[in-house]
Amino acid sequence: MPSVALSDRTLKSLSVPTSGQITFWDEGLSGFGIRVSQGGTKSFVVVYGPNRTRRTIGRYPTVSLKQARDKAKELLAEFTLGLDAKRSITWSTARDQFLTDCERKNKPNTVVYYRKRLDAHFKFGQRNLADISKQDVLHRIRGIKTSASEQHHAFVAARTLFNWAIREDLLASSPLQGVKGFKPAQARERVLNDQELRSVWSEAKRAPYPYGPIVQVLILTGLRRNEAANLQWGFLDEVEGTISLPAELTKNGRALTIPIGALFEDALTGLPRINSYLFPSSHAAGTVFNGWGKAKSRFDANLEDVAPYTLHDLRRTFATTHAKIGTPIHVTEKLLNHVSGTISGVAAIYNRHTYLEEMKVAVTSYEAHLGRLFDS
């Protein structure tokens, strides 16, 4: 759209379109202009807000340029003042409204994804949303030491909330505007060899509670670290020889029941029963262990023959070992609680077999293999 310095002189000389209409925007007042139709009618207009709301002020020359410009300034001021009042919202309130909106529009897993990162990494409390700066956000993201992947996820969660706030007219602009973000972790292929796995297992048996037993559980079950940390004594079924995780604790939102073997039971022998959790936090009641960075650094300091690895590499090693001993891939996927593998799509809808007996056979073979490996 063309822009001109609107004056009584230029208003009289504006060209008339051969069809439709054209708007000439005033160079001196953003959002204010005059719309000229093919019949020669000229109407003052003002546009404001993220949705480009358009208001017609009146026709020229019935309404003079000065009157129209004054009215446009008044409307723009009213909008800005009303918007500023609406934008007086705290981070905590915005976070609650954002998650409520997500619950209406997104899958439960997505809501969990956002809530987990916002609550863990962005404790801005009652600070005004508009007062949170780019450096405030980036400082907290850079302070995440668990993994580059978690930094990426935290950035995505914060960026999504700020963009939502703009759409809701709660924020004029995002503090993360123009920030390229944190590069997500590349797909990893690290699998521990037999000697490395033996060393990690030996150190896990020596390492103090709770980190040592958690590493044992990860090796024996292939669980994700947060799934292991959130295990409760009530999830164990000693009669059936299984452990179950409710859907809200798993990454894909699907409940998981897997068999446990003798090595798993031995790993739990002697664990203190402090509360309902196997691995509760020592810092806050009702929470679970979360000191991954320091604990792993102390643990790895004693592993001279093990190349750098992540706890998730133990899950990949678990799957690879099952392939090595001949566990059918669909059974391994059941143990890992994967939903996008050999049993997916229509097959996943109609195949409701639990594969519990097949998983018991696989766990028995897996623990027998580990027993031979660890005793060698």
Best CA proximity match to 281, nearest among 289, 273, 293 = 289
Residue spans of beta strands (DSSP E) within 61-149: none
pLDDT at 216 (0 to 100)? 98
3-state secondary structure of 37: strand
Reading the block at residue 288, the tokens are: 């679970």
Superfamily classification of domain 3-85: Integrase, DNA-binding domain (3.30.160.390)
Is the CB of residue 276 less than 8 Å from the CB of residue 233?
Answer: yes
Is the CB of residue 265 less than 8 Å from the CB of residue 216?
Answer: no
User: Rounded mean pLDDT of 26-40?
Assistant: 90
Q: How far apart are the first and last CA of the chain?
A: 79
Q: Are strands 3-4 and 21-26 parallel, antiparallel or unpaired?
A: parallel
Q: Do domains 3-85 and 194-375 have the same CATH topology?
A: no
Confidence of residue 279 (pLDDT cuts 50, 70, 90): very high
3-state secondary structure 150-213: HHHHHHHHHHHHHHHHHHCCCCCCCCCCCCCCCCCCCCCCCCCCHHHHHHHHHHHHHCCCCHHH
The partner residues of 280 in beta bridges, in order of sequence, read 288
pLDDT tens-place string over residues 119-149: 999 999 999 888 899 999 999 999 887 777 8
3-state secondary structure of 79: helix
Q: Give yes or no for residue 340 having a pLDDT over 70.
A: no
> Other CB atoms closer than 10 Å to residue 372's CB: what's the count?
9
pLDDT tens-place string over residues 281-303: 987 778 999 989 889 999 999 99
Superfamily classification of domain 194-375: Intergrase catalytic core (1.10.443.10)
Rg over CA atoms, the chain? 30
Return the minimum-mean-pLDDT range out of 57-66, 72-81, 153-162: 72-81
| Alpha-carbon span 69 to 48, nearest angstrom | 14
Ranges of each domain in the chain: 3-85, 91-167, 194-375
The yes or no reply on domain 91-167 and CATH 1.10.20 is: no
Phi, psi of 33 (to 5 degrees): -165, -175
Predicted structure pTM score: 0.53
Query: Following DSSP, what letter does each residue of 248-264 receive, concatenated?
Result: GGSTTS--EEEE--HHH
Best CA proximity match to 66, nearest among 118, 99, 29 = 29
